[in-house]
Every structure is written in C-alpha cells, then in structure tokens.
Copies of this chain bind each other. A is one copy, B any other.
C-alpha cells in the first residue's frame, strides 16, 4: 500500500544527492575540483594505485564517465596514468604530484561535511545501510527488467 511513498523516496534521494553535491561544489571550487574528481582522489589516497576498472567498481562509474574525467585530472597533475606492461589493455591510475599536495589542503573537507549533514552519529550508519540496501535492490530490479523472466524457460 501507499505506492506514492516509494516514488517520494526516489525523489528525496534525487534531491538530497544534488544538495550534497552542491555543498561539495562550494567546498571544492577553490581547487577547481568536482565531487566525482574528489571521490577519485579519496579512493587513491585510501586504496593506492588502481586500474580504471577497479576505480569504476569502487565509484560505480563506467568508462564513459571515468575516461574524460581522468584525462582532465591528469592534465591538472592530480593523477598519473600508465599502461601496465604485461597487459597493454590495463591502465593504472596513481596519485600525481598535485593530488598528493591536495591531501593536506583538503583535510578540512570531511569535517565540514560532517557538520552539515545534520545526521546524528548513530543514525548515520543506519542511514548508510538503508541506502546501500536501496541501491542493491534498484540494481537488481533494473537488471531483471532487462531480462524480464530469467526463472522461467527462456523465450523462443
């Protein structure tokens, strides 16, 4: 019952996501960084050198988004790209000189975000779990919508 509520959840997600991106924009603008670019830096700071595809898995972005984004980041010295020698298909992405310098300069960002979320410490973890569950459910539903009836005999 109350199917309208579920579409409201989706719109609230949509609006909240843009609001958070907006705050990141104001925080990162002095460095000419965007939120997805900041996410790449955080991933590299925390996990170290990554391939393009492992970055895509972490951030849930495909090459159509990452390729031009990484090209701009490389031009700005934020990251360094290199083709792996034994498999020429694979491109590794590592922190560049400017990206390393930003780690200290952007150390204030997480606390500014924390101050702005308006979420209690305990509630945050529950919220994250709920959101990850929604994400997983949505991905599953979208996948099964492309292949409507995988359990029954395959059509034709």
Using CB atoms and an 8 Å cutoff, list the residues of chain A in contact with chain B.
1-27, 35, 39, 42, 60, 110-119, 121, 123-125, 127-128, 130-142, 145-146
Q: Given contacts A7-B114, A16-B134, A27-B145, could you give 17 more A-B pairs where the C-beta distance is less than 8 Å?
A: A3-B111, A8-B124, A9-B119, A10-B24, A10-B113, A10-B117, A12-B132, A13-B13, A13-B131, A14-B17, A17-B18, A19-B138, A20-B134, A25-B142, A116-B141, A118-B137, A119-B133
* 8 A–B pairs (Cβ distance < 8 Å), ordered by A: A3-B111, A5-B125, A12-B135, A15-B135, A19-B134, A23-B141, A116-B138, A118-B134
Please give the distance in Å from A145's CB to the nearest CB on chain B: 5
